[in-house]
Amino acid sequence: MPAPLAGLRALDLTGAPGYLCGRLLADLGALVIKVEPPGGDAGRALAPRYRAPDGREHGLYWHATNAGKLGVTLALEHAEAPRLLADVAARADFVLDSFPPDSAAARLVAEVAAARPALVHTSVTPFGDRPPGRALHADDIVIAAMGGSMYLCGDEDRPPLRLPLWQAFCHAGAEAAVGTLLAHLARGRSGRGQHVVVSAQAAMVWTLMNAQAFPVLHGDYLRRSGPFVGSRGVRRRMVFPCADGHVSLLLMGAQGSPSTRALMGWMDEHGMLPAWLRAWPWEQWEPGWAMEASPAAQAEMARIEEAVAAWWRRSRPSPTSPPTRSSPSASTSGRSTTRRSAGRCATPGRSRASPPRRWRSRAGHPSPASTTPACTASCAATTRTRSGARASSDPWRSRPTRRSRSRT
Contact indicator for 120, 113 with CB cutoff of 8 Å: no
Other beta carbons within 10 angstroms of residue 137's beta carbon come to 15
Instruction: Check residues 388 and 249 and name the one with the higher pLDDT.
Output: 249
- Across the chain, what does the average pLDDT equal? 79
The pLDDT of residue 236 is 86
Other beta carbons within 10 angstroms of residue 295's beta carbon come to 8
Report pTM.
0.71
Give the integer Cα–Cα distance in Å for 301 and 279: 16
Q: What is the pLDDT of residue 234?
A: 78
Same domain, 180 and 56: yes
Whether 189 and 258 map to the same domain: the answer is no
Claim to verify: residue 102 and residue 241 sit in the same structural domain: no
Give the span between the Cα atoms of 16 and 10, in whole angstroms: 17
User: Do 78 and 186 fall into the same domain?
Assistant: yes
Whether the CB-CB separation of 326 and 261 falls below 8 Å is answered with no
Is the pLDDT score of 36 beyond 90?
yes
In a domain, 320, yes or no: no
Q: How high is the pLDDT of residue 394?
A: 65
What is the reported pLDDT for 209?
84
Same domain, 97 and 201: yes
**Average pLDDT, integer, range 54-81:** 94
Q: Which DSSP state fits 362? A: P
Q: Which of 260, 285, 314 is the last residue of a domain?
A: 314
Helix count and strand count (H, E) for the chain: 10, 14
Same domain, 235 and 372: no
Is the residue at 58 inside a domain? yes
Does residue 215 lie in a domain region?
Answer: no
Task: State how far the alpha carbon of 157 is from the alpha carbons of 97, 154, 225, 312, 350, in Å.
Answer: 40, 9, 8, 25, 22
Which one of 260, 290, 314 terminates a domain? Answer: 314
Sequence length of the chain is 408
pLDDT, one tens digit per residue, over 90-103 is: 999 999 999 999 99
The predicted-structure confidence for 42-65, as pLDDT tens digits, reads as follows 999 999 999 999 999 999 999 999
Is the same domain home to 185 and 266?
no
Distance CA 366, CA 29 (A): 28
C-alpha to C-alpha distance for 73 and 373, rounded to whole angstroms: 15
**Residues spanned by the domain of 120:** 9-206+356-398
Three-state DSSP class for 404?
coil
Is 32 inside any structural domain? Answer: yes
278 and 362 within one domain: no
Structure confidence at residue 359 as a pLDDT band (50, 70, 90): very low
Number of domains in the chain: 2
Does some domain include residue 55? yes
Task: Indicate whether 134 and 29 sit together in one domain.
Answer: yes
Q: Residue 322 falls within a domain, yes or no?
A: no
Do residues 180 and 302 share a domain?
no
Using CA atoms, how far residue 229 sits from 102, 224, 285, 340, in Å, is: 41, 8, 18, 11
pLDDT in tens, 163-214: 888 999 999 999 999 999 999 999 999 999 999 999 999 999 988 887 888 8
Strand partners, 97: 13, 123
Within a domain: 158: yes
Question: Do 96 and 196 sit in the same domain of this protein?
Answer: yes
pLDDT tens readout for residues 127-141? 999 999 999 999 999
Q: Residue 131: its pLDDT value, please?
A: 93
Alpha helices, H only, 140-196: 140-147, 167-190
Phi and psi angles of residue 402, each rounded to the nearest 5 degrees, phi first: -70, -35
Query: Out of 68-77, 167-176, 221-230, 357-366, which region has the weakest mean confidence (pLDDT)?
Result: 357-366
List the CATH number of the domain containing 373. Answer: 3.40.50.10540
pLDDT at 355 exceeding the cut of 80: no
186 assigned to some structural domain: yes
Whether 374 and 277 map to the same domain: the answer is no
From 314, 345, 379, the end of a domain falls on 314
Residue 260 in this model has a pLDDT that exceeds 60 = yes
d(CA 88, CA 397): 11
Single-letter amino acid, residue 379: C
Q: How far apart are CA 25 and CA 263, in angstroms?
A: 40
